[in-house]
């Protein structure tokens, strides 16, 4: 009996040594294996398309930095911001502001970009998920800064004036593509990625900048 146990332990030890001698997959191999598993596990349906499984280069760089804890160098950060700045388009009719009431609806809505959403249905901005915007809404996230009194504290009394032009254009650009101003911003690139259309962005602009908006009262 004792001899049998000794033999069994020897066999087990040999197996363990053999396993230890086998090289472990590299980080790159594990990443590829993970991507292959994810790709086989998803299908395109509704607004959820397979392109989201292949992040663009800027997303890849920021995600890699977040995963590894290794900061992106300043030159690369500047390149990311420059690339994204080039995607920002001015409003087709030259007008930046729409209807602040509609903007509130966009900000409140978290609809869109899921497999249950019809392809042509309108998305929401889900802005309250990260920001305080109006005093009336008590449920809001704090991932982003408060936007209450956004236009008021920036001195916007007439959004169409020359004096207001810098903050109006900045806000438009930020809603179009936040990574033009912060390379690894967590804010969705609403215009660049087609999450919101031009009219919706104009309405959110009005919510933030129109002096008549409840946000600026």
Residue ranges covered by each domain of the chain: 100-216
For 100-216, the fitting CATH number among 1.10.760.10, 3.40.50.720, 1.10.540.10, 1.10.340.70 is 1.10.760.10
Rounded to whole angstroms, how far apart are CA atoms 116 and 108? 19
Determine the average pLDDT of the residues in 20-37.
80
Task: Compute the residue count for the chain.
Answer: 217
Task: Write down the pLDDT at residue 141.
Answer: 96
Q: Determine the Cα–Cα distance for residues 88 and 193; give it in Å rounded to an integer.
A: 11
pLDDT value at position 21? 59
pLDDT category of residue 19 using cuts at 50, 70 and 90? low
- pLDDT-derived band at 51 (thresholds 50, 70, 90) equals confident
- Tens digits of per-residue pLDDT, 161-186? 999 999 999 999 999 999 999 999 99
For residue 46, give both structure tokens: 């509704």
Confidence of residue 11 (pLDDT cuts 50, 70, 90): low
5 pLDDT band, cuts 50/70/90, is: very low
Q: How many CB atoms lie within 10 A of CB 171?
A: 24
**Which residues contact residue 127 at a Cβ distance below 8 angstroms, ignoring those fewer than 6 apart?**
106, 107, 108, 133, 147, 204
Residue at token pair 């080039």: 86
Please tell me the least confidently modeled range out of 92-106, 113-127, 191-205.
113-127
The pTM assigned to this predicted structure is 0.82
User: pLDDT at position 84, please?
Assistant: 97
Is the per-residue pLDDT at 82 higher than 90?
yes
């Amino acid at each position: 009996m004792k001899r049998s146990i000794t033999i069994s332990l020897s066999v087990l030890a040999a197996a363990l040594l053999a396993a230890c001698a086998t090289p472990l997959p590299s980080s790159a191999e594990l990443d590829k294996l993970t991507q292959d598993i994810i790709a086989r596990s998803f299908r395109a349906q509704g607004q959820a398309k397979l392109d989201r499984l292949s992040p663009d280069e800027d997303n890849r760089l920021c995600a890699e930095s977040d995963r590894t804890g290794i900061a992106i160098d300043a030159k690369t950060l500047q390149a990311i911001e420059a690339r994204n700045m080039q995607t920002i388009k001015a409003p087709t009719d030259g007008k930046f502001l729409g209807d602040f009431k509609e903007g509130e609806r966009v900000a409140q809505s978290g609809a869109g970009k899921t497999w249950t959403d019809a392809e042509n249905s309108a998305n929401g901005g889900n802005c309250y998920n990260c920001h305080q915007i109006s005093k009336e809404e008590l449920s809001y996230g704090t991932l982003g800064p408060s936007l209450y009194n956004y236009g008021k504290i920036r001195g916007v009394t007439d959004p169409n004036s020359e004096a207001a032009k810098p903050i109006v254009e900045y806000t438009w650009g930020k809603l179009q593509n936040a990574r033009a101003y912060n390379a690894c911003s967590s804010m969705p690139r609403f215009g660049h990625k087609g999450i919101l259309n031009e009219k919706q962005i104009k309405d959110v602009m009005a919510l933030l900048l129109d002096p008549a908006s409840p946000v600026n009262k």
